[in-house]
Structure 1
Amino acid sequence: MSSQDLEYYSWNETFSVTLYTMHHEPRNTVAYVLLAVLFVVIVTLTILGNALVCLAILLNRTLQRTTNYFILSLAVADLLLGIIVLPFSAILTSSKQWYFGIVWCNIDLSFDVMLCTASILNLFMISLERYFAITSPMTYQRYLTFRKVLIAIALVWVVSFLSSFVPIHLGWNTHAELHVNGTDITHGCYFFENQVYVVTLSLTTFFIPLFIMCATYARVLMIARKQAQEINKMSILACTESRTPQDQKHHKNHMVSEHKATITLAAIMGCFSICWIPYFVIFTIGPFINQNVIPEVVHDFVLWMGYINSTLNPILYAFLSKEFRKAFKRILHCKCKKR
Structure 2
Amino acid sequence: MNYTANVTYNLTSSNCSNEMCIPDEDYLNVIETHVFPKPWEWTLVGLYSITFVIGLTGNSLVCFAVWRNKTMRTVTNIFIVNLAVADLTVIIFCLTPTLIVDISETWFLGFIMCKLVLFLNTVSISVSVLTLSAISVERWYAICYPLVFKSTKKRAKLIISAIWLFSVAVAVPDLVVAKLHPYFSPEFTILLTSCKPGWSNRNQTIYQLVLLIVLYVVPMVLMGFTYSHIAVVLWKGNIPGAVETARKPMMNSKMNKADEQLESRKKAAKMLITIVIIFAVSYFPVHLLNIFRYTGVLLKLPTNFVLVMALISHWLPYFNSSINPVIYNFMSAKFRKEFRMAISCGMLQQKRRIRGRGQPTMSIYSNSTTTQHFVGRNYSQTEQITLSNFHDKSETDAW
Tell me the TM-score normalized by structure 1.
Answer: 0.82
* Partner-residue secondary structure (3-state), 2:94: helix
For the structure 1 residues 328 and 29, does the alpha-carbon distance in structure 2 shift closer, same or farther, using more than 3 Å as the test?
Answer: same
Q: Distance in 1 between matches of 2:249 and 2:70?
A: 28
Deviation at 1:27, TM superposition (A): 4.9
2: CA distance between counterparts of 1:336 and 1:135? 38
Alignment of 1:159-174 (within 5 A): 159-164=166-171, 166-171=172-177
Equivalents in 2 of 1:131, 1:24: separation in Å? 55
Q: Quick check: 1:127 aligned with 2:132?
A: no
Question: Is residue 2:66 matched to residue 1:60?
Answer: no
Greater RCO (CA < 8 Å, at least 6 residues apart): 1
Unaligned runs of 5+ in 1: 5-21, 172-179, 231-235
Matched AA of 2:329 = A
CA RMSD of aligned residues (A): 2.4
- Residue 268 in 1 paired to residue 275 in 2? yes
Matched, 1:189 2:185: no
Match of 1:318 among 308, 311, 329: 329
Check whether the contact 2:90–2:124 (CA below 8 A) recurs between aligned residues: yes
Q: Superposed, which structure 2 residues align to 1:73-222 within 5 Å?
A: 73-140=82-149, 143-164=150-171, 166-171=172-177, 180-184=178-182, 186-187=190-191, 188-192=193-197, 194-222=204-232
The answer as to whether partners of 1:121 and 1:209 remain within 8 angstroms in 2 is yes
Mapping 1:324-335, distance limit 5 Å: 324-334=335-345, 335=374
Greater CA drift, 149-158 or 246-255: 246-255
Instruction: Give the superposition deviation at 1:47.
Output: 0.5
How far apart in 1 are the matches of 2:309 and 2:216?
20
> One-letter code of the match for 2:376?
K
2:289 aligns to what?
Answer: 282
Note the alpha carbon deviations across 1:221-264, whole angstroms, 9 max, x for none: 1112112x99xxxxx65323425314433333332222221111
Q: 1:102 to 1:23 in 2, by over 3 A?
A: farther
In structure 2, how many angstroms separate the alpha carbons of the residues matched to 1:303 and 1:223? 37
Which residue type is aligned with residue 306 of structure 1? Answer: P
5+ residue gaps, structure 2, are 5-30, 184-189, 346-373, 379-399
Report if aligned partners of 1:102, 1:183 keep a CA contact under 8 Å in 2: no
Deviation of 1:303 after TM superposition, in Å, equals 1.6
Candidates 231, 240, 245, aligned match of 1:239: 245
Shift of 1:189: 2.5
CA deviation map 1:291-326 (0-9, x unaligned): 323513311211211221011111111111111111
Change (3 A) 1:244 1:23: farther
3-state SS, counterpart of residue 196 of structure 2: strand
- Cα distance change on mapping 1:239 and 1:273 into 2, 3 Å: same
Kindly tell me: are residues 277 and 29 of structure 1, through their superposed partners in 2, closer, same or farther at Cα, counting changes over 3 Å? closer
CA contact (8 A) 1:103 1:182 kept: no
User: TM-score, normalised on structure 2?
Assistant: 0.70
* Paired positions, count: 303
Could you say what secondary structure the match of 1:280 adopts?
Answer: helix
Code of the residue aligned with 2:90 in structure 1: it is L
